[in-house]
Each structure stands twice: as structure tokens, then as C-alpha cells.
Amino acid sequence: MSRSGFAILVGRPNVGKSTLTNALVGQPVAITSSRPQTTRHTIRGVLNRGDDQLILVDTPGIHRPRTLLGRRLNDLVLTTMSEVDVVVLCLPADQKIGPGDTFIAERLLELRRQKLVVAVTKSDVVSRDMIASRLMEASRFADSMGLQVSDFVPVSGAEGDNVDELAHVLASLLPEGPRLFGDEITDQPERVVVAELIRESALERLRDELPHSVAVDIDEMGMREGRRPDDPLMDIYAVIYVERSSQKPIVLGRRGEQLKAIGAQARAKIEALLGTRVYLDLHVKIAKDWQNSPGQLRRLGF
Ligand SMILES: Nc1nc2c(ncn2[C@@H]2O[C@H](COP(=O)(O)OP(=O)(O)OP(=O)(O)O)[C@@H](O)[C@H]2O)c(=O)[nH]1
Ligand SMILES: [Mg+2]
């Protein structure tokens, strides 16, 4: 009998959840960056293993919220956790377990039905001995919290180490049942993926606190009419929103060079994803204090 179901990856910001999700799926479905709080949605990626189907749910890092957006994202993760089959708590191998993990573990105690797996992530950045002691530490932590853990798996999403083993462990914990998804690898609409790729390019280029202030919205997206069938072109009109007027010139850069570079980088990624040439029209606008404004959050899809 085949197994199918959902496994959610949870943990503090920046512990490697999205990198691991992409590694498990085998293709990028979630953007990643060195900045904490990169992921802002629950993102589903599908892995078919023989007859089994494992649906991974990447989530925003759970953190002490400083904005309305932060509170919404925490609530989103906590609600989504109660709807899946397996919860994967991600603890990075290069950091000690701390109060942020305790906060998450307390939420896990409230779950009834879900199986729990601990992934010790970023295993490539520490020695074998260190991995062993992290696994022990994680096991003591789970005991002290009163958490029942089905398995502890060291893994590196970046290097691919032990990713298949983790997939095997997760699939074995799923309920029996037929596939829930067809051939798609993610449930995200194309325009969401495109907006995320633009935001990823902005995150890579912008410094300091600015990445948190950026949101991307697609105004319009469609094939250009009147093109030869063998040379299609997609038009994409997108807006990068910042929170304050002082941030706009930073995103634009001198003579608009920063924005141009963000656009060029994003366009290459979008063309690779969609397999067609793209005309990307990017503008910067101010959505005043959007992370704390219910109206702006709604408009931006939160
Ligand atoms: N060396 C190493 N780096 C990793 C690994 N996984 C993630 N990283 C790096 O850690 C940083 C954060 O990775 P993400 O996958 O974006 O982390 P996340 O948990 O999704 O972060 P949020 O979405 O902000 O909660 C990025 O710079 C990654 O390149 C890993 O297995 N090994
Ligand atoms: Mg992420």
C-alpha cells in the first residue's frame, strides 16, 4: 500500500528549512537567503518516491514578532502544523539549542496526531563529533520537554548529505493512501513564484535591515501578442514595495543601477524557470509601514 501525506518543516529563522525543502523536492520551490525571515508563506513542494508521495511544507521561521506581519506568520505556522501528518523540527548543527527552540517545542506539545522528527540541519558545517553531540543534545532537549520523537536525522540541504535518508524516514511515517497531487512540484501559482524570485534577487543585493522592508507584487503578467510562435516573450510588470520614502533611493541605486541589477538577476531566474524570454518592468513604490498595516498586508496577500 502506498503512503502519502504532509510533512511540515518548522524552526527558528535561518536554520535552513527552505534549503532543505528544495533539496528534498529536488528542485527550488522556496527562495533562500542568508537573512533571517526570508520565507513569508507556507510553501508546498511535492516529492514522489516510488508509489509514495511526500508533500513538504516549508514555513516562515518562528520568532519573537516585532510587527503585525511577524505575528501573522507565526500564527500561520502554528495553525498549519496542526493540519499535517509529520512535523520536522529543524535545529541547526552550528548553534546551541536556545529559548527560541524551547518556545517552538512548547507549541509542539500541543499537537496530538502528528509524528515528530528532529532534523539537525547544516551538518556539513561541523565535524562528525560535533554532529554526534548535537544529536545527543537534541535528544536530551526533547526528553526534557516531554516530546516524543520518532527519529533524529542529521542532514545538509546545501550539500545533499543524508537528504534521501530523511525523505525515507518522513515517507515511512505517512499514513497509507493514494497520491494527493499530480505531476506539479509546487502548489504556488506562477505569479507568486515570479514575485518570490524578484524578492530573492533584491535580498541578495540589499544590505542591512532593508530586506525585511521589501515586498514584491506582480501587477500584470502575460504573453506579448503578435510574436512569432518560435520566439515568444512574456511581459511582467512588477512593483517592489518599501516601507519608507528614505528606502526608495537605496533600492533604485545611483542612476537606477541597483534596481537594474536586481531586475537583470531576477529576469535570468524567471526565464530559466518559465523557459521563455521575459520582459521585466520593475518599479519601486512606497507602501508606508506595510508590515504593520492590516490594509497593506491584505493587499500584499498576507
Ligand atoms: N553550509 C550550509 N548552509 C546552509 C544549509 N542550509 C541552509 N544554509 C544557509 O543558511 C542560510 C539560511 O537558509 P534558508 O534555507 O533560507 O533558511 P530558512 O530556515 O528557510 O530561513 P527563514 O525562511 O528566514 O526562516 C542561507 O544562507 C543558506 O545558504 C546547509 O545545509 N549547509
Ligand atoms: Mg525559509
Predicted confidence (pLDDT) per residue in 87-137, tens digit: 999 999 999 999 999 999 999 999 999 999 999 999 999 999 999 999 999
Distance 15 CA to ligand 2 centre (A): 8
| Atom 7 of ligand 1, nearest CA residue | 16
Looking at the 3D structure of the chain, how many domains does it have? Answer: 2
- pLDDT confidence of residue 269: 95
Q: With a cut of 80, say whether residue 208 has pLDDT above it.
A: no
Say whether both 258 and 224 belong to one domain. Answer: yes
Residue of 20, 32, 40 to test ligand 1 pocket, by largest number of atoms within 8 Å of CB: 32
HSE (CB half, 13 Å, CA atoms) of 157? 26
Do 6 and 83 meet the contact criterion of CB atoms below 8 Å apart? yes
Give the CA dihedral 216, 221, 224, 229, nearest 10 degrees: 110
Task: Say yes or no to pLDDT of 211 above 90.
Answer: no
Is residue 39 in contact with ligand 1, taking CB distance under 6 Å? yes
pLDDT at 292: 97
- The pTM of this model reads 0.94
- Domain range enclosing 291: 190-299
Q: Are residues 146 and 253 in the same domain?
A: no
Q: Is 100 in the pocket of ligand 1 (CB under 6 A)?
A: no
Q: Region 216-242: what's the mean pLDDT?
A: 95
Ligand 1 near 18 CB (within 6 A): yes
**Residues 226 and 270: beta-carbon distance below 8 Å:** no
> Is the distance from CB of 97 to CB of 141 less than 8 angstroms?
yes
Distance of CA 296 to the CA centre of its chain: 22
CATH number assigned to the domain comprising residue 74: 3.40.50.300
Establish whether residue 21 lines the binding site of ligand 1, counting it when its CB lies within 6 angstroms of any ligand atom.
no
143 and 28 inside one domain: yes
Mean of pLDDT values over 204-213: 85
Q: What is the dihedral of CA 195, 197, 199, 201, to 10 degrees?
A: -150
Provide the CA 142 distance to its chain's centre, in angstroms. Answer: 25
Q: Is 291 in the pocket of ligand 1 (CB under 6 A)?
A: no
The three cell numbers locating residue 189: 501559482
pLDDT for the residue 207: 79
Statement to judge: residues 161 and 196 lie in one domain: no
Identify whether the C-beta of residue 220 lies closer than 8 Å to the C-beta of residue 264.
Answer: no
Is the Cβ atom of 37 under 6 angstroms away from ligand 1? yes
- Domain assignment of residue 184, yes or no: no
- Give 210's pLDDT tier (boundaries 50, 70, 90): confident
